[in-house]
Amino acid sequence: KIEKAKPIKCGTFGATSLQQRYLATGDFGGNLNVWNLEAPEIPVYSVKGHKEIINSIDGVGGLGIGEGAPEIVTGSRDGTVKVWDPRQKDTPVANMEPVQGESKRDCWTVAFGNAYNQEERVVCAGYDNGDIKLFDLKTMTLRWETNIKNGVCSVEFDRKDINMNKLVATSLEGKFHVFDMRTQHPTKGFSSVSEKVQKSTIWQVRHLPQNRDIFMTSGGAGSLHLWKYEYPAQRSKKDSEGAEMGVAGSVSLLQNVTLSTQPISSLDWSPDKKGLCVCGAFDQTVRVLIVTKLNKV
């Protein structure tokens, strides 16, 4: 057990090698720290990255997932999203923030994706006003943005290390959206399907590491839902102007359980054991679950 002065909000192993296993954390003071858990006294990397709390963190390029450099992205209440390379001290390698004067939105969630070769990489960020923005780190452009009306609690690509395939975004009001990220229409963007789960917030979504088309959402009412995405027969079609347009598939509920009366705020799958997952809830409990028969879906 290690105690630190500032409360920690989020953490990830995503940018470290399988051997090193350094933990990257974001805390309430806006600091990004990378810890060697074998010697946790002093962080191996530390930066005061944001003015306010870091809400969300994600890593890529480590753990054998994602080609290219290891990078960490942080999203903060100060409205900025910053990408860090643990090899570069003090300054982010990329920084995305609103225009001066434009109201700053609270960034609630960030995720890496599209890291299928050494250059390609995108960051997706979700904001409290329902904005979802997709930044392309290769071309350094804002590639796409949309609004899903309610605050975006969690976004995740089905796999970080493939040519962008699907993105799931969950919202404050109990809905989640699945975007087909293969085909981007010049004006309409990506097509999506949405599903209403319940009245309460969907706090988090996590895809099964062994099968990208199965994902679990954790809900405000203390429940978990297991979903499967089914692709349409044709994933893209031509619109009236001949531009390619994606076609969204459908989602079906495989299973649901209610574990607690309190919201389940975080959730993750085991990369090694298919179906093993862990979730943390507001009732101060961490629960470990096993989902069986996943290979039959």
Minimum distance of other proteins from residue 8's CB (angstroms): 24
Based on CB atoms, which residue is closest to other proteins, 3 or 272? 272
Based on CB atoms, which residue is closest to other proteins, 29 or 275? 275
Residue 72 · residue 24 · CB < 8 Å? yes
Give the list of residues 6+ apart from residue 54 with CB closer than 8 angstroms, or none.
9, 10, 26, 27, 28, 30, 31, 32, 74, 75, 76
Residues for the chain: how many in total? 297
Minimum distance of other proteins from residue 61's CB (angstroms): 8
* Measured distance CA(279)–CA(267) in Å, rounded: 4
Distance (Å) of CA 291 to CA 177, 192, 220, 294: 23, 27, 20, 7
Could you identify the residue written with the tokens 């309430």?
28
Residue 167 · residue 154 · CB < 8 Å? no
* Measured distance CA(250)–CA(134) in Å, rounded: 23
Minimum distance of other proteins from residue 41's CB (angstroms): 21
Minimum distance of other proteins from residue 7's CB (angstroms): 25
Minimum distance of other proteins from residue 25's CB (angstroms): 21
Distance (Å) of CA 155 to CA 35, 206, 207: 25, 9, 11
Collapse the DSSP code of 100 into the 3-class scheme (helix H, G, I; strand E, B; otherwise coil) and give the result. Answer: coil
Based on CB atoms, which residue is closest to other proteins, 100 or 284? 100
Minimum distance of other proteins from residue 4's CB (angstroms): 25
Distance, C-alpha 95 to centroid of its chain: 18
Minimum distance of other proteins from residue 130's CB (angstroms): 16
Based on CB atoms, which residue is closest to other proteins, 29 or 67? 67
Based on CB atoms, which residue is closest to other proteins, 91 or 147? 91
Minimum distance of other proteins from residue 95's CB (angstroms): 5
Based on CB atoms, which residue is closest to other proteins, 185 or 287? 287
* Measured distance CA(23)–CA(1) in Å, rounded: 14
Based on CB atoms, which residue is closest to other proteins, 27 or 213? 213
Phi, psi for 294 (deg, rounded to 5): -70, -25
Closest CA to 195 of 224, 157, 168: 168
Based on CB atoms, which residue is closest to other proteins, 3 or 241? 241
